[in-house]
Amino acid sequence: MKHVWWTAGLAALIAVGADAQETGKIGGDAKYLKLKDAMKPDGAEIDLAQHKGKEPVVLVWISEKCDITWRYEGRTGELMKEFGPKGVKFYAVWSSAADSAEGIRKYAESKNYVMPVLDDAKGELARYYGVKVTPTYVVIDKDGKFRYRGAYDDLQLGGGFKNDASTAKEKYVHAALSAILEGKEVQITEKKGVG
């Protein structure tokens, strides 16, 4: 039930000004913004454009109130352990109208997140990338191309998200990152997950 409230909150947020902003297309240009790091009370900003031409970026939309986000924390951590040393940069993104800055900061601290949490409270990044549920993963290659959006794995496509992570047959974000680092085309560019 909690993730339904979040989805409604995000949908309402995304709807505001949706006509005024273009939605990015997979294979097209990524959108780089300067956003506050919700983990830093001083309001320090992170400019995502610093990564263009240097390294791939993974954006992970999270919500403190979404039980599916909670179930994917460990998987996100494993992804970071494997691909962080290979130069991939990771950012959590907070766009939910149902979450507060303080709440999301406490949530991230309690989970020992070792990545910044971008404050997208206006929903501009979420609208551009077509994000409607948490968790949603977006993969951008080092050249600034939007290469993948959606579920982490095949378990997130339905009720299987409750199953042990080891039972997943396909790991979409992992496959997208592996292809990008090997200079290959991403075979599966979108999978809509539940959230």
66-86 per-position pLDDT tens digit: 888 888 988 999 999 999 999
pLDDT at 2: 39
Read off the tokens for 80. 């970071």
CATH architecture of structural domain 2-191: 3-Layer(aba) Sandwich (3.40)
pLDDT at 131: 95
pLDDT (average), residues 22-43: 90
Is 150 a residue whose pLDDT tops 50? yes
Read off the tokens for 166. 């080891």
Q: Is the peptide bond before 135 cis (omega within 30 degrees of 0)?
A: yes
One-letter amino acid of 124? E
pLDDT at 136: 97
Residues whose CB falls within 8 Å of the CB of residue 30, separated by 6 or more in sequence, listed in order: 24, 52, 57, 140, 144, 145, 146
Distances (CA, A) of 8 to 28, 98, 179: 28, 9, 34
Residues whose CB falls within 8 Å of the CB of residue 168, separated by 6 or more in sequence, listed in order: 153, 154, 155
pLDDT at 17: 43
At residue 164 the predicted structure's pLDDT band, cuts being 50, 70 and 90, is confident
User: In the chain, what are the domain boundaries?
Assistant: 2-191
101-149 per-position pLDDT tens digit: 888 888 888 877 789 999 998 999 999 999 999 999 999 999 999 999 9
At residue 4 the predicted structure's pLDDT band, cuts being 50, 70 and 90, is very low
pLDDT at 21: 60
pLDDT at 127: 95
